[in-house]
Amino acid sequence: MSSQRSSFRRKEKPAFERFKDHCRHFTAFMFSNVGIILLVTFYIIGGAFIFQRIEIFEYERLKSEKPHRFVARNFSGECLSRIWELTAENISFFDHHAYRRRVNDVLLDYQRAIVKKQLKGPDVEQWSFSGAFLYSLTVITTIGYGNITPHSEWGKLVTILYAIIGMPLFLLYLSNIGDVLAKSFKWIYSKVCLCRICPGVAKRRIIRERRKMRQLARALQMHDMENARGSSSYSSTSSATSSNSSSSEYTRSSRQSSSLVDIPYTESDSDIEREIRGSTDEITVPVTVCVFVMVGYILWGALLFGRWEDWNYLDGSYFCLISLSSIGFGDLVPGDRVITADRDKVEVSFILCAIYLLLGMAVIAMCFNLMQEQVVHNIRAIKRAFKACFRCRTS
């Protein structure tokens, strides 16, 4: 009993080694599929809290130190006063062209002030939790609507650091989740679309592949026989060793080609079903199916945002396409129904908006991955066809 206890104590690892093992397991979990989703989610939530506190604190500080900057200016009244002063100075209209030029300058200044005020937007109302969350999301996804921007120096500095860390993290999220979605969608497509809904398509595909393999085997056998005949007639005056090597090569190639030709041509349902199940991992999803998935996801988002934001179907589709492609013009953004003026209030529609964008970019990555596999498969098929054509011509 004492020997067992001593051996158990000797096998127990030190505390530092156990700590390293736990850190290694935690790191592996955080960069797994589930861990990367949680990491991106908490990273966006943490960034929302950070940006909200920084901008609100900076706003309160400037408001207490420089209150004159936050007094609402009457741009229309100032413009009318300046025009009236110019009119009073030129009451006789002695220089009519100079008067019009100065009035035009006053009107241009008024237009620039109004545009600057509209682009700047509200000072602190935009930094509610919903607005800060949307800002963090658009930073790491590189959408960048531009309707919410930091005005403080600390906010700009934190944005730089946040983007440097967040963008590679989001690319890792797209790579992992897009690959998982691609494998899952390929499995569903191979099991459902090719086996249960339309089994005749899978049966014809298997028969077509068998016929192609048989034709290729016959062509290879004829080509090897022609080469063997030409080499035997050419090497009749050579030594016995070369004739033995050519005969061995001929017998080896004939055995390989005969093994390909002897493929059983059975069309029973059991054999075809067995081949279908064995080749589901090698199925490529057609490009039309991927395009249909992307268009369907965009139209579904257009329906949702049209209900939340009172947009028409065209504006909703336009917003979804611009957002999911990370173009982000910023002319249409989630507005009054999603970003609330309350700093601590979070709308359910806003949560669904964030989930739609995160999941949608992963779906787009999945579709691009599947389309890339289909294009590579078609290019390889064309390459094999060209090789077969040139081989037949040379033979």
Average pLDDT score over the chain: 75
Q: How far apart (Å, rounded) are the C-alpha atoms in residues 40 and 35? A: 9
47 Cβ partners below 8 Å, 6+ apart? 132, 136, 139, 140, 162, 166
Alpha carbon 381 to its chain's center: 28
Choose among 251, 244, 250: nearest CA to 227: 250
C-beta atoms surrounding 315 within 10 Å? 16
Model-level pTM?
A: 0.67
CA distances from 13 to 6, 9, 20, 29, 306 (A): 13, 9, 11, 22, 60
How high is the pLDDT of residue 104? 87
| H runs (alpha helix) in 90-146 | 96-120, 129-140
Q: Which tokens go with 258?
A: 């005969």
How high is the pLDDT of residue 392? 63
Q: How far apart (Å, rounded) are the C-alpha atoms in residues 283 and 270? A: 19
pLDDT tens-place string over residues 323-335: 999 888 888 888 6
Q: Hey, what domains does the chain have and what are their CATH numbers?
A: 15-119 (no CATH), 124-196+283-392 (1.10.287.70)
Q: Which tokens go with 390?
A: 């040139």
Q: Map tokens 């067992």 to a residue.
A: 4
Q: Which tokens go with 316?
A: 């909703």
Q: Which tokens go with 362?
A: 């992963």
CA distances from 113 to 118, 239, 308 (A): 9, 98, 32
- Report whether 190 contacts 284 (CB < 8 A): no
Q: How far apart (Å, rounded) are the C-alpha atoms in residues 395 and 388? A: 11
CA distances from 153 to 43, 52, 55, 156, 158 (A): 21, 14, 10, 5, 9
pLDDT of residue 44 exceeding 90? yes
pLDDT of residue 253 exceeding 70? no
Q: Map tokens 């009073």 to a residue.
A: 88
Residue with the larger pLDDT of the pair 1 and 140: 140
Q: Which tokens go with 54?
A: 């920084």
pLDDT of residue 93 exceeding 80? no
Q: Map tokens 């998935």 to a residue.
A: 293
Q: What is the mean pLDDT of residues 35-57?
A: 91
Alpha carbon 315 to its chain's center: 22
pLDDT tens-place string over residues 169-217: 999 999 888 888 888 888 888 777 665 445 555 556 666 666 777 777 7
pLDDT of residue 5 exceeding 70? no
- Report whether 224 contacts 257 (CB < 8 A): yes
323 Cβ partners below 8 Å, 6+ apart? 143, 357, 360
- Report whether 260 contacts 216 (CB < 8 A): yes
Decide: residue 173, CB within 10 A, 0-12 exposed, 13-18 middle, 19+ buried: buried
pLDDT of residue 387 exceeding 70? yes
